[in-house]
Structure 1
């Protein structure tokens, strides 16, 4: 069995010597005409059970598609039965479920009428409850070093599975068949060739692709394989990287996952923000993420880890949530068991790096459950950070709160009871999407947060222009004990509460 896992490289190929803007991508792109291509969005979901991995990937391209192809190292020879196309909606629902979210709460009447007292708590709690191509590619000029192991068509994709005995031969084979690959690709191909990887080369038939506003609407593609190692090689995708790469990995499995060979941190979560964040949420989150990386360079950030069960998988939920059928579509029909029935842990990992930042591929390992980012209160206040737990229930969650401004005509007002809006109308949860393209460097994070971020040593903006001599001090965290459990510096306190692919993007 091959040692190398599936590769998810980080860049679209820059062609004809011109660096193109590209998002995260599996492997790299090659194109025969020398024109510029860009991958503006890539979504990846990995389903893992035992030694079996099912990878689902969606790419949207902007540029010409003639003689276009993508090259992805895979651990085994894939057969036609191993590959299929999916509906885009399935991947979109997974992405929406794990994305950072902005919620909104209103303080309930501190002086409820007597007849309302008994139902008061249940009403407040219910507002926060979970909702439910063949042609010249066939040349045999390099038959001694490159072999076509399989050839088949799936929807608009013309697929070849190649094996190679040397990286130089593979590079020459691609070039001889009219595909311009990045300069210096051979050293990046070498470890995969030497490790026994095969190469998934998928051409696109332009006649079968719908174009919308100049973008090719390609069908998501899925394939599965067996490998002892659960790894995400990223070096091949750095072949023509000229800026930062954004990688988001969604993993569906029986337990939470983290990386084994880089530092793990969790994103600061569960704090209030100003109302202005409502219209700049992706920009706000990008600023928070960047500050987290400044405090933890070279880390991979956990943004979501939640135990998903049918009809109970999130709190709060996005407008559309994954269905049980989605689990089967994303690989449940292959792995079977409880995962196929919608019982899984969704882990969302986020890395952002330049060409020189990541010296090794990403290797995953199982991790213990954590909680955080819920509307769970104790005497010390709202929970913050990540805490060990028996069930996963962690999310990147931020809140806008509206304090009661009406009259309080009672002797003992009950302050701080939070629920839905006074008019009873439901507000949709706001999710941070397309983070790779969010504006950066324009939003001053300290001016929109309402508490110090002790987890990363970051202070909110001082209320007064001139702080005391020596600088502003941090507000005291509600907990007295910092906690670490194999995830880097995770500030937190142990609180009792309810427990609950891959996409990568690059911004030039």
Structure 2
């Protein structure tokens, strides 16, 4: 079963708008509904390429000894009143809270390692600065966190010791495809197409065009902060120039986590609104939701003369990349690489090396985080990851070299194959992957696989939620 939601950026009078989308079956009113624009914006923000800003921490910093638990009794009531807001902003959720003996225990889930570190510090847990890199692998794997502190009241002291509404419709079909050619009939310029695919534990790519991962995980100049859209447009255009007709993979990650997070992640209600409610019914969704939804973001830019076929999709093996993972030799990982889980994103960093004194015998360099205490960074510092927005309408007159040097090339993922015929299915993974080794068979998609689609008949269906954003780009007049 495919659930397709579409949002169009349209310029012109409302009476002149028309959307024509081929579907494989006759749709009834029950198959169609509108969605809130805010949810589309939430998805687009979550999987968009992102800009981050880091400062190198004091290489000679030595964390102070943990304070006595006695001081926990001195916390102000005002701090408690701001706790819920801080929890939401940090991406930390308290799953459970209870006491055992003299211990106050919380069970946490976290969406972002830096947010978890900030929450723990705000809640007065004695953790050393720079803990995020150590917490990160556990956050990415979906671990929960058992955290305890002592209630001083229960301790015997001795010696003082948190526009146009999108349309959604669903149908059953053998092929997973997106009909885009009709939209090119009256196109006067380029079109930007962004496809967000949600499937249980499964990444997707196109079958009939080359697939390439966006270059990721390299440093950019401070100029990028005020021109992130222009920088990313230049990077995207250069990637497509090197790989003509390629569809670019910009993101592949569990939709309930992110690191760094540009905004909130998707929750159960979001999945139901986007279409999980029709993947066998809401009750069935709850019974089989032991596997998380992976969100894949694909980006194509084309004209009426450059696109010859509709887009067909297939399952693809997991990839990782764009993380603060230091490899042998002290360099960050670059490009997309095969792995057991999907953790790939377009991420670009502005870094400020330590400029203060280094007066210790064994300085520790390369620890990055928030501005050091006492530093004067002004009001332009990025306090969270900044997602790129409206790339279709970004300036395209700034050179990529003005933002970064030694930009790595995007690496090919799956090669193009012939588009399937009217009755052919194409949800098999690529036989080979240029991301560093053979693709191999991915795990079977969870969801409606093997479910009954009619009385007495069974079919293997990938449960897919596809969100499409189409922006028609009008050519700008030269000044």
Indicate the TM-score class for this superposition, using the shorter chain for normalisation. Answer: 0.5 to 0.7
CA distance in 1, matches of 2:468, 2:195: 4
Cα distance change on mapping 1:83 and 1:228 into 2, 3 Å: same
Residue 194 of structure 2 is aligned with which of 248, 251, 254?
Answer: 248
Give runs of aligned pairs for residues 57-206 of structure 1, distance below 5 A. Answer: 57-66=6-15, 69-113=18-62, 115=64, 119-122=128-131, 125=134
Give the aligned partner of residue 176 of structure 2: 230
SS of 1:291's equivalent in the other structure is helix
Q: Which moved more, 1:282-291 or 1:425-434?
A: 425-434
Tell me the equivalent position of 1:507: 473
| SS of residue paired to 2:340 | coil
Residue in 2 aligned with 1:328? 272
Given that residues 260 and 364 in structure 1 are in contact (C-alpha distance below 8 angstroms), is that contact kept between their aligned partners in structure 2?
Answer: yes
Tell me the number of residue pairs that the alignment of Structure 1 and Structure 2 aligns.
334
Equivalent position of 2:227 in the other structure: 280
Q: Does 1:419 align with 2:369?
A: yes
Indicate the residue corresponding to 2:254 in structure 1: 307
Q: 1:341 to 1:324 in 2, by over 3 A?
A: farther
**Equivalent pair of 1:331/1:340 in contact (CA under 8 Å):** no
Which residue of structure 1 aligns with residue 216 of structure 2?
269
What do residues 382-401 of structure 1 show as CA deviations (whole Å, max 9, x unaligned)?
Answer: 00001100000000000000
| Inter-CA distance 403–450: structure 2 relative to 1 (3 Å threshold) | farther
Map 1:402-441; keep pairs closer than 5 Å. 402-423=352-373, 427-440=383-396
Shift of 1:450: 4.2
Highest RCO, 1 vs 2 (Cα 8 Å, sep ≥ 6): 2
| Secondary structure at 2:46 match in 1 | helix
TM-aligned CA distance change 1:347 to 1:264, over 3 Å: same
**Which residue of the partner structure matches residue 396 of structure 1?**
346
Change in Cα spacing, 1:340 to 1:129, as seen in structure 2 (3 Å) is closer
Question: CA separation in 2, counterparts of 1:101 and 1:220?
Answer: 24
**8 Å contact from structure 1 (residues 270, 384) kept in 2:** yes
Gaps of 5+ in 1: 1-51, 133-216, 458-483, 493-500
By how many angstroms is 1:124 displaced? Answer: 5.4
**1:285, 1:432 within 8 Å by CA — same for their partners in 2?**
yes
TM-superposition CA deviations, 1:170-215 (whole Å, max 9, x none):
xxxxxxxxxxxxxxxxxxxxxxxxxxxxxxxxxxxxxxxxxxxxxx
Q: 1:421 to 1:491 in 2, by over 3 A?
A: farther
1:477 maps to none
CA contact (8 A) 1:328 1:341 kept: no
**Offset of 1:97 from its aligned partner?**
0.8
Structure 2: segments with no counterpart, 5+ residues: 67-126, 143-162, 375-380, 413-429, 438-466, 475-479
TM-score (norm 2): 0.64
* RMSD of aligned Cα (Å): 2.9
> Per the alignment, do residues 296 and 79 of structure 1 end up closer, same or farther by CA in structure 2, a change over 3 Å counting?
same
Provide the residue aligned with 2:327 in structure 1: 378
Cα distance, 1:503–1:67 mapped onto 2, change above 3 Å: closer
- Quick one: distance in 1 between partners of 2:328 and 2:4? 44
- Whether the 8 Å contact between 2:213 and 2:411 is mirrored in structure 1 is no
2:146 match: none
**Do the aligned partners of 1:385 and 1:491 also contact (CA within 8 Å) in 2?**
no
- SS of residue in 1 equivalent to 2:175: coil
1:295 to 242, 248, 265: 242
State the alpha-carbon separation in 2 of the partners of residues 321 and 90 from structure 1: 11
Match of 1:337? 285
